Amino acid sequence: MCLSKEGEAVMGILDGKKCSEEILEKIKIEIDKMVKSGKRAPGLAVVIVGENPASKVYVNSKIKACNKVGICNKEISLPEDVTQEELLQNIQKLNEDENIDGILVQLPLPKHLDEEEVCNAIREDKDVDGFKPENLGKVVLGKEDGMIPCTPQGIMYLLDTIKDFELYGANAVVIGRSNIVGKPISSLLINRGATTTICNSKTKNIDEILKKADIIIAALGQPKFLKENMVKENAIIIDVGINRVDGKLCGDVDFENVSKKASHITPVPGGVGPMTIAMLLTNTLKAYKKGGEE
């Protein structure tokens, strides 16, 4: 069963992998058409610092997806001991490169580097991660014409595939308050009229709050934190966690048990992760178009 915005999610599994493949296919068709008509292809630069194995896996997935749809990509691998100044110089060059529409610096950076300054050095219109205060601020203000952070945007896309579900007035609970996921997804939910509560792992009476939730976004980075007894019957569960336990990937949700109660649930892997990448490519195409290439 296909999971598109027009489609319907079946069997309760929100299949992010399938949904992302559909989005990639649409992007590919659009880029093929543009290139055939003589325009240049969109370009994405991915900067990675050091040897973090998880970051390498994520970057490889992003590059692979770019290649699938025809987005030109430039991977810039810098050594672990690169200085802040050298990194900023690299970003400056990419800011000035006319063939680069989007710039992504894979996080986390090694401890000696200032992540905030690095992310802020990216030109606002090339900030395809949507991490800059200008882009995050627009999301908070309900102006979604800037770059919307990829994971939250992917979650909203998945929620929109659920037929006969009204977000307006629904009780949404977000567990986690990161700048990348918790804060922006809370804003997007508020913008759509959901009554939104933001919790963290230490929130008092969290079970009571969760029990009232029609939607739960688990983004706190604790393996299998969300248990069956914490959710109400037919809740929608979005699992943003990617944890490795005994060499196996698992999310922040105890999928095996919670899935028996949920009306819809995202698996890990194959849920939110592929949607994040699909939204990165969507943002890159958006940046390209905004740059007047179309």
Give the residue with the Cβ less far from ligand GUN, 197 or 276.
Answer: 276
Q: Is 129 an annotated catalytic residue?
A: yes
Choose, from 127, 129, 214, 252, the residue flagged as catalytic. Answer: 129
The CA distance from 230 to 227, in Å, is: 6
For 110, half-sphere exposure in the C-beta direction (CA atoms, 13 angstrom radius) is: 15
Residue 114 catalytic?
no
Residue 102 CB, shortest distance to ligand GUN, in Å, is: 11
d(CA 112, CA 80): 10
Tokens (6 digits) for 122: 């990216």
Q: Least Å distance between CB 4 and ligand GUN?
A: 23
> DSSP readout, 69-133?
HT-EEEEEEE-TT--HHHHHHHHHHHHH-TT--EEEE-SPPPTTS-HHHHHHHS-GGGBTT--SH
Residue closest to 70 by CA, chosen among 22, 35, 95: 35
Question: With b meaning 16 or more CB within 10 Å and e meaning fewer, what string describes 159-181?
Answer: bebbeeeebeebbbbbbbebebb
Determine which helix (DSSP H) or strand (DSSP E) holds 246, and give its type and residue range: none
Cα separation values, 237 from 65, 124, 140, 215, 276, Å: 26, 32, 23, 6, 17
Binding site for ligand GUN (CB under 6 A): 104-107, 129, 150-151, 180, 276
Q: Are 280 and 131 in contact (CB under 8 A)?
A: no
Give the residue with the Cβ less far from ligand GUN, 55 or 203. Answer: 55
How far apart are the two ends of the chain, measured CA to CA in Å? 33
For ligand GUN, which residue has the nearest CB? 107
Question: Catalytic positions, please?
Answer: 62, 106, 129
